Structure 1
Amino acid sequence: MDNKLALKTPEIENTDGLPLPQRIWAIVAISFALCMSVLDINIVNIVLPTLSHDFDVSPSIITWIMNGYQLAIVVSLLSFSSLGEIYGYRRIYLSGIAMFCITSLICSLSDSFWTLTIARIFQGFSASAITSVNTAQLRTIYPHSKLGQGMGINAMVVAISAAAGPSIASGILAISSWHWLFAINIPLGLTALILGYKFLPRNEKRDDRKFDKKSAIANAITFGLLIYTLDGFAHHEHHDYIVIQLIILAIVGTYYVRRQLGQTTPLLPLDLLKIPIFTLSISTSICSFIAQMLAMISLPFFLQNTLGHSEVMTGLLLTPWPIATLITAPTAGYLVERIHPGILGSIGMVIFAAGLFSLSMLTPESSDISIIWRLVVCGMGFGLFQTPNNSTIISSAPTNRSGGASGMLGMARLLGQTFGTTLVALLFSFVVQSKSTSVCLLVGGGFALVAAVISGLRISQPSTIK
């Protein structure tokens, strides 16, 4: 009996990685879960006005349906990464998928603002468990020589899910109610759960250390206050409150960092930041996602308010971006095994910047075709960058710190998206409406160029992709 079970259970062989076809099914499971968790960050944006009307809640309050989800991810991501290293990536991952299915069902059945908001917060914790260990598992699934290909698929799923949120939401809303924005997660989650349980590797290396609860609490307060303060600043919260938040942030943050410096395997992986190529890759990742969010949040305002397009048409016009990424990211996964990731990443960010600068030159007379080709350029550049960058982040960390590297990769994306969202709010409040989108795109192009420069600095560092 034990022998039969052993044959059915995918194990990490001494030959490095999972054998085919188990590797394919494992990556399919990861892709389903990752798509589901990333998609839900942006899929609600379009329906916020409808929810505000249905629940009779002001627009400023209704945004907590989105903010609560993202805040939950930010405050818990590094904690789940640490738990993955201690208890196993597979266990944390499958638990996150199961909870995501349950919370998605609650969201789809919600009949009040508070029910939906609380469910969304717990859905965010579930997404955090999935995201925190996602890329760490690629090291146990793929042979080292094929890690770039795995990262290519992973980057493709993340980029497409993030950019395609408005498009998918538009399609669902065109034929059904907002409840189905959440209900669609259930079949995706169940598929990921079944495939993950059967094919994800079980015999992962685990750390015998205890979970640092004090660091987890300090981490939640530090990053939670950071995001909340940025949001308050962007929405012109009273200065007294912002000052109080900054003081608390400085005190707790100082304690948190000092505590991490004394740990051999810290929750906040400061040990990994001592690796130059890792730090450069994290920095360029943050800049790239700031640029992406500056574009993805500001463009719908131009398309709807200036060009007069509907929500559905806006989603369709933004679709060429993820399609271009879909084509480019796997290609980058192939190229990263042959070209230094610093060079490849710089090329991708320069192309991305060119696309953003060209979008900033759109006028009220611009045709749909002129918008589409510019979005294609952005998608190609972003896809060409993400794969080599993510590959470098994961492979430059020691194997036993893959969870920490995975958590930092996810944190870089979330911080970049949050800073980008905050910048859009600030720019929209200081720039006249007719020029606000153009300014956001110019600033985004600037961040993309900064990312290209930082990526180029990695050329002096040895590539970790063999």
Structure 2
Amino acid sequence: MSPRSRRAWVLALTSIASLMVSLDTLIVTVALSTIRTDLGATLEELEWTVNAYNLSLAVLLMTGSALGDRFGRRRMFATGLVVFTIASAACALAPGVGWLIAARIAQGAGAALLMPLALAILSAAYPPERRGQALGIFMGVTGLSVVGGPVLGGAITEGVSWEWIFWLNVPLGLLVLPFVLTRIDESHGTDTGLDFPGLALATTAAFGLVWGLVRGNSAGWGSAEVVTALLLGAVLLAAFVAWERRAREPMLPLGFFRSRAFSAGNAAGFLLIASLFGTLFLIAQFLQTGLGHTPLEAGLRLVPWTGCLMVVAPIAGALVDRFGERPFLVGGLVLQAAGFGWLALVAEPGVSYAQLVPPLIVSGIGISMAIPATQNSVVSSVPAHMIGKGAGANSMLRELGGVFGIAVLVAVFAGWGGYGSPREFTDGFVAALAGAVVLALAGAAAGLLLPARPAAGRTPDAEDAPVPVATR
């Protein structure tokens, strides 16, 4: 097989894996109202249905990357596909919300092998001057999940049952697995250590912080439970940083953050995804609870927003190679903030759909411009032999951004609104959109710190170069 054909297979298979992982983040959003009714779930339980997956995925990403470096990226990528497929079946069989949340944790563990290794395998397969275009196509295919997820989720939830949104992964996983084993070359990274203390500290720190944010409105922000959870999470986060500074083979090499491209790209990506996921969690419910649409109608009405990723991201990815990341990252996040702010101004019970379309398109274009720029900034700023860890760090921080965004914006929603009436839901939704605007603008500010130079063929210079590892 020619190198060109091999790269095409790598792009196709890694994109499908990303599609599956992203689909299960997004397809469930339109089904949340139905799951709330069928399983008697509270707002907090709905939040954990989404965040259990995202949190498990986030905290295990770097371990997934390290396992790929040590045991083989193709082998562990295939293992992740098997775990994800089995866990999807467990979600579909859930008799109650507790089972569903537990199965979502297992799904996240499988996704934690798929996502960083997909990005590492793809990034290593393409030379720097063509990587941005490949990442743009990769995100465009992933965009199918953004476009199709809400629509497919709505159609399945309304036409069959919500359980089938998870059954969908089973035949897809079984179909892709043989090609992963035969069309992707095996590869290893140079860093083969497993940082179990770092994993434990990162997991417990993230869990403590998210638990405090999720429980804040119901238990009280000044309650012993919430204060203890937040303080414990902060202390464990500081302990994680201290450990990573002295570990022989750290889970997250802190020297990476000496690169402005790496640090600013990850900070902007964290805030971009926080704003996006927090809004996505609520907007499908707004269309149903606030405006009275069915799940399928809600999914279809999100297409002008979600469809932008599939169309704009490949174009933006190619332009990033030519003009550099900063204009697309900053400009995209400003457009994202403008779209969400516009949406907050027009959102009210009974608002016509025509009034929602322009702000949805504006924010969708902005998000689609920014995402390829953040990813290219990060993977282009680390040495080639450490792309696996760089990609894993980027994926971990983006997923933690999603968990953070959902926790924060749902806390804002619960403080200002609720499910009592369309007006009450809309009041909370508008307040949450204001929070999403703040997050997006903070991401744009971080993006201003990116080096102003083209990405193609970039090699870190003395000022911008990361230090691979810290030693004892």
TM (norm. structure 1) is 0.88
- Compute the displacement of 1:53 (Å): 4.6
- Compute the displacement of 1:410 (Å): 1.3
1:225-374 correspondence to structure 2 within 5 Å:
225-236=208-219, 239-364=223-348, 366-374=351-359
Aligned to 1:120: 104
AA aligned to 2:312 is T
1:145 aligns with 2:145: no
Aligned to 2:392: 407
Q: How many residues align?
A: 449
Aligned to 2:462: none
1:377 aligns with 2:362: yes
- Compute the displacement of 1:130 (Å): 0.8
2:193 partner SS: coil
Once the two structures are overlaid, the 10-residue window that deviates more, 431-440 or 271-280, is: 431-440
1:216 aligns with 2:199: yes
Q: Deviations over 1:249-287 (max 9, x none)?
A: 344333322121013541023121111110000111111
| Structure-2 separation of matches of 1:375 and 1:417 | 19
Closer/same/farther in 2, CA of residues 112 and 303 from structure 1, 3 Å limit: closer
| Structure-2 separation of matches of 1:290 and 1:252 | 22
2:323 partner SS: coil
Contact 1:352–1:448, Cα closer than 8 Å, also in 2: yes
AA aligned to 2:89 is L
Once the two structures are overlaid, the 10-residue window that deviates more, 260-269 or 21-30, is: 260-269
Name the % identity: 27
- Compute the displacement of 1:90 (Å): 1.6
Q: Deviations over 1:132-184 (max 9, x none)?
A: 32211122221221100111122334455356533221011232112211110
| Structure-1 separation of matches of 2:157 and 2:330 | 38
| Structure-2 separation of matches of 1:375 and 1:59 | 25
User: Alignment partner for residue 378 of structure 2, among 369, 372, 393?
Assistant: 393
Closer/same/farther in 2, CA of residues 379 and 197 from structure 1, 3 Å limit: same
Q: Deviations over 1:405-424 (max 9, x none)?
A: 11221122212212221222
| Structure-1 separation of matches of 2:191 and 2:45 | 43
1:449 aligns with 2:441: yes
- Compute the displacement of 1:425 (Å): 1.9
Contact 1:69–1:123, Cα closer than 8 Å, also in 2: yes
Contact 1:105–1:182, Cα closer than 8 Å, also in 2: yes
Contact 1:396–1:464, Cα closer than 8 Å, also in 2: no
| Structure-2 separation of matches of 1:368 and 1:43 | 21
Closer/same/farther in 2, CA of residues 180 and 340 from structure 1, 3 Å limit: same
Contact 1:32–1:188, Cα closer than 8 Å, also in 2: no
Contact 1:32–1:189, Cα closer than 8 Å, also in 2: no
AA aligned to 2:363 is C
Q: Deviations over 1:163-214 (max 9, x none)?
A: 6533221011232112211110012212332222122221x24326432222
AA aligned to 2:324 is H
Aligned to 1:438: 430
Closer/same/farther in 2, CA of residues 119 and 391 from structure 1, 3 Å limit: same
TM (norm. structure 2) is 0.87
Contact 1:234–1:423, Cα closer than 8 Å, also in 2: no
1:107 aligns with 2:91: yes
Aligned to 1:47: 31
- Compute the displacement of 1:244 (Å): 2.6
Contact 2:212–2:227, Cα closer than 8 Å, also in 1: no
Closer/same/farther in 2, CA of residues 62 and 323 from structure 1, 3 Å limit: closer
Once the two structures are overlaid, the 10-residue window that deviates more, 414-423 or 294-303, is: 294-303
| Structure-2 separation of matches of 1:308 and 1:139 | 44
Once the two structures are overlaid, the 10-residue window that deviates more, 344-353 or 228-237, is: 228-237
- Compute the displacement of 1:465 (Å): 4.7
Closer/same/farther in 2, CA of residues 160 and 136 from structure 1, 3 Å limit: same
| Structure-2 separation of matches of 1:338 and 1:404 | 25
| Structure-2 separation of matches of 1:449 and 1:54 | 38
Once the two structures are overlaid, the 10-residue window that deviates more, 151-160 or 218-227, is: 151-160
- Compute the displacement of 1:464 (Å): 5.7
Contact 2:332–2:368, Cα closer than 8 Å, also in 1: yes
Closer/same/farther in 2, CA of residues 59 and 374 from structure 1, 3 Å limit: closer
